[in-house]
A and B are shown apart, each in its own frame.
Chain A
Amino acid sequence: AQKITQTQPGMFVQEKEAVTLDCTYDTSDPSYGLFWYKQPSSGEMIFLIYQGSYDQQNATEGRYSLNFQKARKSANLVISASQLGDSAMYFCAMREGNGNYGGATNKLIFGTGTLLAVQP
């Protein structure tokens, strides 16, 4: 069965510093996708970054990068140059199927989240 684990319930980081949020996963499907979402206090879920299981390179989106270590089944999110607006809940999620024309319709399984607080 699919499982997503986020072991850090909360993290502090100084403004302008980098921070790594941990995520490990478990699945028996060779084809899967990994996601990170940000949820500010307003409640909306904001898509940050995606990594497919067959992708050779780590995904990057602006200040966000995903440290994908397939053998260790980890998909850590790295936020560089933290900003005060980065303070939010961060969720790692996985779906089986890596998004090739149909994977998007597969359900997501979410981790328990990490609350990030950026300090000035």
Chain B
Amino acid sequence: GAVVSQHPSRVICKSGTSVKIECRSLDFQATTMFWYRQFPKQSLMLMATSNEGSKATYEQGVEKDKFLINHASLTLSTLTVTSAHPEDSSFYICSAARVAFSTDTQYFGPGTRLTVL
């Protein structure tokens, strides 16, 4: 159990285009999902917290107009990178919080590697 999927796994796009990344919790409902980005050989940095049915909470320094987050259902959150530029190239990982047991935690998707040319 506790499987989280991401789509696509890899995407290459031209500078100026928008890219949408989907994060799905396959076997549990997640009222809260998180979006992280990871540059090569660096740690995961939290970008935003996505709550079902409400606006996302962005971390300091993350442009909310550039990284649009929609959490339309209990199993799906999307991250749209608008007008992508080469500096947005990174590994984007989502996680979904399963709250069913006292020690439950976040489960991560396999990640999406974005390359902006």
Contacts and interface: CB of A to CB of B under 8 A. Distances in A.
B110 A105 contact: no
B93 A43 contact: yes
Which of A101, A105, A108 is most buried by chain B, counting CB atoms within 10 A of its CB? A105
Interface string A30-57: 0001010100001111110010100000
Given A43-B113, A107-B46, A102 B99 contact: yes
B78 interface: no
Interface residues of B, number: 26
Contacts of B113: 43
Interface residues of A, number: 25
The 4 closest A-B pairs by CB, nearest first: A45-B108, A105-B32, A104-B97, A43-B111
Interface of B: 31-32, 34, 42-46, 49, 91, 93, 95, 97-99, 102-111, 113
Interface of A: 33, 35, 37, 42-47, 50, 52, 91, 99-102, 104-105, 107-113
